[in-house]
Amino acid sequence: LTWRSHRLYGGGADVPLNEVRRVLLWGATLMQKHHQAHRVDHPKLGLLQSVHHRRDVRTELWGAVGRASEDGVLGELWGLIARWLIAGLSMDQMWPGPVIPGASPSSPVFFTMAFGGLPEYWVRSFLTRALDVGITRLIFISPEVELLRYCEDVVREEKAEAKMLCVRVMVPFGRPYDFNNKAKFYLFPILLSLGLDVAWLDFDIFVFKNPASRLLAQAYDTANPKDVVVTDHFDEYCLNHGVFLVRATDRALLWLIEYIRWMHWYPYGHDQNGWDALLGHSIHEPQMTKDLFTNPNISASHGVLSTELEYVTLTGWAGDLTLQRQRALLLHYTTTHGISGYQKHAQLLQAFKAAGRQKQNDTGGLLQKRRVDMVIWKLLHRLQMGLPKFKRPCYEGIHSAIADLLRTGLYEELLA
């Protein structure tokens, strides 16, 4: 599974499809042994959901993957992930989602990413906030050594080795923004094939409370389960994958590989437009798989997460401060009304500082909780407005980093 700039990456950090297939085969073999040993007629969940629901099978699969990586059968990335998961098996017992009869599902893995020389305070604040709200598994990805060092410092100081993993995405990259898209998605096939649900939080988010249980409840809705749940915009209809969860299903994995292929083969595409288009939500894009929506094996189902009340953005919040404040899970510092990078960063860092840990004595964390509650109340009060009468259609266009090179003619040279 190579990335857009495949000639420049060297392949070391990419995930070859043959390795994904090998791990899936091992998982299928283990599930078959489990069925034979227990003589239980399991519901037809598909391979990945079956592994996701069986703690003993997951653990054995992770061990096999770790050993295969050490023997050179699988790449180092597989071993890194497998060893981290095994070291945090206690996290695997903290399922925050809906009750699944007869199952022992795994807690999800959250991802986030940072680049661009962000200040240490931002990195530390985001990561410690994630730990404070109770996110039990988080992978931080960055191409920058300095930002990885900040992450590793937090892991060491918080004794969070089982909860947090710092991973460097390989560089150099060939075209602007390629490393962003690669860092955001290249680990997903590994985690999905290991039977884990995966969630994403953009790095410009202030988390109010752990969103895991709500995300899982929406994805595992017994009446209408979804392969993918993702936010849209407060007043616009197209999808915004700043917050999403992908379930460990066979169809979700195959769909995600099609999405990565689309980003590879269509170099002018914007990742958010492709995400929307490949889910069949509101946008149509060229270079898409012909049978994407007719082939049930790769046509992923999706649900939209409420930006009006729960997954809030700077565009607005339509809740009642007295009755609905507790429904707000996070604030994503993005808006459809335009905001400069400086303004966004300044506002986010101000929230981090106001809600940050204090050194004075605080028995039971009561003062800290009150301070965070006040910060959340002020943020929501400032954003409060009525529901939009309708949501406008939207399209991101060609990413600005690419558009500049298109005008100069240099982009075609990078494609050659």
First to last CA, the chain: 20
Inter-residue contact 190 to 113 (CB < 8 Å)? no
Sequence-ordered alpha helix ranges (H) in 72-118: 76-87
Average confidence (pLDDT) over 267-281: 90
Percent of the chain at pLDDT above 70? Answer: 87
Inter-residue contact 144 to 117 (CB < 8 Å)? yes
Q: How far apart, in whole angstroms, are the C-alpha atoms of residue 335 and residue 148?
A: 28
Inter-residue contact 365 to 354 (CB < 8 Å)? no
ω before 98 within 30° of 0 (cis)? no
From 187, 310, 290, select the one nearest 243 (Cα to Cα).
310
Inter-residue contact 401 to 177 (CB < 8 Å)? yes
Alpha-carbon radius of gyration of the chain: 21
Q: Does residue 12 register a pLDDT over 60?
A: no
**3-class SS of residue 131:** helix
| pLDDT tens, position by position, 372-397 | 999 999 999 999 999 999 999 999 87
From 176, 202, 136, 246, select the one nearest 348 (Cα to Cα).
202
How far from 199 is each of 29, 111, 137, 384, CA to CA, in Å?
27, 6, 10, 27
Q: Based on the number of CB atoms within 10 Å of its own CB, is 336 exposed (0-12), middle (13-18) or buried (19 or more)?
A: middle
Q: How far apart, in whole angstroms, are the C-alpha atoms of residue 171 and residue 194?
A: 26
109 CA to centre of own chain: 8
| Residues contacting residue 94 through CB under 8 Å, at least 6 positions apart | 107, 136
The two tokens of residue 148 are 């990885």
| pLDDT tens, position by position, 343-368 | 989 999 999 999 988 776 666 678 88
Q: Which residue's structure tokens are 């958010």?
A: 272
| pLDDT tens, position by position, 221-270 | 999 999 999 999 999 999 999 999 999 999 999 999 999 888 877 767 78
pTM of the model: 0.93
Q: Which residue's structure tokens are 């003993």?
A: 56
Q: Count other Cβ atoms within 10 Å, centred on residue 104.
A: 15
Question: Dihedral (C-alpha) 146, 147, 153, 158: value to the nearest 10 degrees?
Answer: 180
The two tokens of residue 315 are 């565009």
44 or 176, greater pLDDT: 44
User: In the beta sheet, which residues pair with residue 114?
Assistant: none
Confidence of residue 186 (pLDDT cuts 50, 70, 90): confident
The conformation of residue 389, written as its DSSP 8-state character, comes to S
How far from 243 is each of 43, 110, 212, 312, 365, CA to CA, in Å?
30, 10, 11, 10, 28
| pLDDT tens, position by position, 292-323 | 999 999 999 999 999 999 999 999 999 999 99
- For residue 100, the model assigns a pLDDT of 82
| pLDDT tens, position by position, 32-42 | 998 888 766 55
What letter represents residue 69's amino acid?
S
- Output the DSSP codes for 260-293: HHHHHH-TT--HHHHHHHHTTSS---SS--TTTT
